[in-house]
Amino acid sequence: MTKFSDLKLDPKVLKAIEETGYETPTPIQAGAIPPALEGRDVLGIAQTGTGKTASFTLPMITMLKRGRARARMPRSLVLCPTRELAAQVAENFDTYAKHTKLTKALLIGGVSFKEQDQLIDKGVDVLIATPGRLLDHFERGKLILSDVKVMVVDEADRMLDMGFIPDIEKIFGLTPFTRQTLFFSATMASEIERITSTFLSNPARIEVARQATASETIEQGVVMFKGSRRDRADSEKRKLLRALIDAEGETCTNAIIFCNRKMDVDVVAKSLKKYGYDAAPIHGDLDQSQRTKTLEGFREGTIRLLVASDVAARGLDIPAVSHVFNFDVPSHAEDYVHRIGRTGRAGRSGKAVMICNPRDEKYFEAVEKLLEKEIPRIENPLAQGKPEQVQEDAPAEEKPKRSRSRSRKKDEAPTADAAPKTDTPKSEPKADAKPEEKKTDNRTKRGRGGRGRDRDDQVVGMGEDAPSFILKSFAERRAG
């Protein structure tokens, strides 16, 4: 069995690895580190949670042990799709480079440009950044990429989903042609294949698992859910989520709950808090300081349930997540693999439960097609042993009220029809009252929007009661 000591890493790096308690590299690490140390381009394909971050961090530190960075000219570059993933890479660098004198800078949004400029001006060996913030610094003239010797693209397929591919191509063009490129992705879409064939030179391809597969240590399940009424489906779905969490009992030490929309993240988190659950939201619209605080609380155990959008689905290294709940079926099948990959990490067991309603069944079929297996169905805990109880949750009192009101109208209708059957017909009023009634009826119909409905009504004129000034005007016109 291969050990880290067999991979020709720098002794100071090996010492840091030993202090972390690791001895044996993961398959992606054992496959990627040797060609990276030889200076070759690397194309690594592995599912999330397999140790890809260390597979490029360790050789990069070893290769950069000699040399010195100049102001505004980093010696290596790591591109990440999200702030959280970039911050995690920075933490890994600090862990494995603590016995070296290498420096780093983290360029992400939500942080002052001034602080980042000060770090760049001093010169850094490793620059870890999101594409947008990196280009912002470059366009401001604060960054020069002509001295980059090693460039890493992490979670490339997530870059594709987030629309960063044009930025990635532009950054490739700003770095030297002689750079070494380490390219990592969980899936290989056609667009990713195009980029690798364009910017990588004869790369060593390491594929340690079938593309977009879930870890075997994760127990999966799905609840097929249908609301009793459309206007109650969302609240009933949140009730089902709470029942699923309760059903796991003490085995659910902590969990990440994924929603498709940011708005639902806030609604679900607020609902869980209302019912006494220790939950907090995290998504892209939150301030960076709040996102960092929430993640730290989840890692430390002060927050049990993390309600997240897909911004937290990739690359976050929180090793002890016991459960993942998919409140929504992801619209992209690949995202399902990355979501549930937050649990069952580093050989641990985990459990992933998904809620699927009828409108998401087409996405669910795509997930099963990608996995090439059927996800086991779980019985709805709200319906177990008491199918009538679910029906009783519906507002049974409202229906009888409607039926009584309708029946009352039906009972009254014959009485109204029977009313005209009298000896005195109402259609023959007194002659004196007829013009007044006609005028009243016509005015009422016009007031109700019935203009022009009864065109056969008699038009009543002014007759001899016409004002003299009107008659006078007509007489003058005839005379003229």
Residues 177 and 256 in one domain: no
Q: Distance (Å, rounded) from C-alpha 478 to C-alpha 474?
A: 6
Of the three residues 352, 381, 410, the one that is the final residue of a domain is 381
Q: Distance (Å, rounded) from C-alpha 70 to C-alpha 161?
A: 34
Provide the pLDDT for residue 404: 45
Residue 390 covered by a domain: no
Residue 360 covered by a domain: yes
Q: Phi, psi (5° rounding) for residue 43?
A: -115, 105
Provide the pLDDT for residue 434: 45
Residue 386 covered by a domain: no
Residues 277 and 376 in one domain: yes
Residues 130 and 73 in one domain: yes
Of the three residues 178, 207, 236, the one that is the final residue of a domain is 207
Residues 173 and 237 in one domain: no
Residues 292 and 325 in one domain: yes
Residues 292 and 331 in one domain: yes
Residue 463 covered by a domain: no
CB-CB contact of 128 with 107 (8 Å): yes
Residue 400 covered by a domain: no
Provide the pLDDT for residue 247: 94
Q: Shortest CA distance to 279 belongs to which of 312, 302, 248?
A: 302
Burial 456-471 (b: 16+ CB within 10 A, else e): eeeeeeeeeeeeeeee
Check which CATH number belongs to the domain holding 280 and give it. Answer: 3.40.50.300
Residues 15 and 156 in one domain: yes
CB-CB contact of 305 with 234 (8 Å): no
Residues 92 and 182 in one domain: yes
Residues 28 and 158 in one domain: yes
Q: What is the DSSP string of 279-333?
A: EEEE-TTS-HHHHHHHHHHHHHTS--EEEE-GGGSSS---TT--EEEESS--SSH
How many domains does the chain contain in total? 2
* Residues of the chain under the 50 pLDDT cut: 386-456
Of the three residues 341, 364, 381, the one that is the final residue of a domain is 381
CB-CB contact of 126 with 102 (8 Å): yes
Provide the pLDDT for residue 80: 94
Residues 311 and 194 in one domain: no
Q: Which two tokens stand for residue 25?
A: 């590299």
Residues 281 and 199 in one domain: no
CA 251 to chain CA centroid, Å, is 26
Full domain range(s) for residue 229: 218-381
Residue 114 covered by a domain: yes
Residue 328 covered by a domain: yes
Give CA torsion, residues 371, 349, 239, 310, to 10 deg. Answer: -60
Q: Which two tokens stand for residue 435?
A: 């013009």
Residue 364 covered by a domain: yes
CB-CB contact of 325 with 258 (8 Å): yes
Residues 113 and 222 in one domain: no
Place of tokens 């177990």: 384
